Amino acid sequence: MKPLLVIGSYLSPYVRKVLVCLELKGMPYEVDPIVPFYGNDRFSELSPLRRVPVLVDRDLVISDSSVICQYLEELQPAPRLLPGDIGDRARARWLEEFADTRMGDVFIWRLFNQVAIRPAVWGEKGDRAIIDKTLKEDAPAVLDYLEKDAPADGFRFGTLGLADIAPACFFRNAGFARFQIDDVRWPRTAGWMARTLATPPFANLATLEDAIARTPITGQRAVLQAAGAPISAETFGTAAPRRGMMPL
């Protein structure tokens, strides 16, 4: 089986979600670890919104992490990413959607973007007022919601799946911005996310993420290759960033 190609940075929560699913299913893959702002014109053809991840499976090109994960689930059904019960599947899909939208807005664009993306890509200082509001109001609201649904032990629907993977991907990025879940105020969520991030798929990727977390973007590909990551021979990246359609 020819390895699937995933285009996108290891530090993206949306890319991480796809890679965790691939790791969980044991499917061979390669990664072109570009930050979307550094995508070339050929990247724009594959991803018209200039977002990651993009999955390439021979002649098939798919954008959007949720669509990609659904494709992987249908391509190789075992182990399952979604529970068998129809109601549980709907609930799992909602938790994935809540993570991708609300948690993405709070932990990526209002926190990680201000702390990491703006300085690293554009050489700009983050907005302290946005960061403070996020930490004081927005993040606690997300955690209050998750705490009501978090399992007391194990995973949300018994075995590791998208309902666990999707929110954990955003808390991983929040950790890079030095945000930690208060395990006194939100004990169930803290335990749930700790168990999820400790699983082999997340732990395997964490080694590579940590290797590039403080590496300049243009040097990350070489660091990943040296660390043994399955890096593609060809890249859709370029040396200079350009602004796309994502919020800044």
Average pLDDT (65-76) is 98
Closest CA to 98 of 53, 174, 164: 164
Residues 37, 186: contact at Cβ < 8 Å?
A: no
Establish whether the linkage from the previous residue to 241 is cis, with ω within 30° of 0: no
Average pLDDT over residues 16-33: 98
pLDDT at 153 over 80: yes
pLDDT at 165 over 80: yes
Report, as an integer, the average pLDDT of 143-147. 98
CB 14 within 8 A of CB 47: no
For the chain, which domains are there?
A: 4-80+201-226 (3.40.30.10), 86-199 (1.20.1050.10)
- Is the pLDDT score of 29 beyond 70? yes
- Output the pLDDT for position 248: 47
Q: Which of 236, 114, 240, 118 is nearest to 177 (CA)?
A: 114
Contact 121, 37 (CB under 8 A): yes
Q: What is the pLDDT of residues 214-224, one digit of tens each?
A: 999 999 999 99
